[in-house]
Amino acid sequence: VLGVLLSLFSSVTGALRLPQQLAILSPELKKEVAAQDKELAAGSWHALLQKYRRLLASGDAPAYVHYLIGRVYSRIGLYKAARAELEECLELAPRHLPALTCLGSCLVRLRQYDEAEHVLDMAAAMSPGRADVLLTRAAVHVQRGFPERALPLLAQAGQAGGGRKVMLQQALCFYK
């Protein structure tokens, strides 16, 4: 049962994360994130990292470049490296909401649950009701062995998730 919930978290948070992140990004960064997703799907992450390292060296928007590098590392499963880049981004831009949510997710993967909750609390304070933040907070409870504490968060995420509400309701059915 716990494994089913975790796999649902993974698929639902992946489905919700991009549209919500794009809603708060500049038009230029939206285009870069969309292009990044295409290149990652094609397995071109080495080229992306080289491109971002050159951008970082040029001094162009270092906070966003650290976020993009952290996002690549997170997507390929290098969570410690992602954490370092995302924390660098947040030092330069403490209110960078996509970096906060991505960092929270990385911390869950690294089993740093107290830190994840702290980061996710900051993200929730900045943007209450974000489905990706709610789902990641629910994942913390599941990972700690308290799936019943995840249910209210799943319900809130279902309300915030719009078209993905049916998928979240199906996840809730397993745990009522």
Give helix then strand counts, H and E, for the chain: 10, 0
Q: Tell me the three-class secondary structure of 145-162, residue by residue.
A: CCHHHHHHHHHHHHHHCH
Q: Across all residues in the chain, what is the average pLDDT?
A: 78
Residue 32's pLDDT is 75
Higher model confidence: residue 32 or residue 121? Answer: 121
Structure-block tokens of residue 105: 């997710």
Angle, CA 147 vertex, CA 144 and CA 152 arms, to 5°:
120
* Identity at 100, one-letter amino acid code: L
Q: Which single residue is written with the structure tokens 């038009």?
A: 27
Residue 156's pLDDT is 84
Closest by alpha carbon to 120, among 146, 141, 91? Answer: 141
Q: Tell me the three state secondary structure of residue 59.
A: coil
Helix axes 2-22, 131-143, angle to 10 degrees: 160
pLDDT digits (tens, 9 = 90+) for 65-118: 899 999 999 989 999 999 999 999 999 999 999 999 999 999 999 999 999 999
Determine if the pTM surpasses 0.95: no
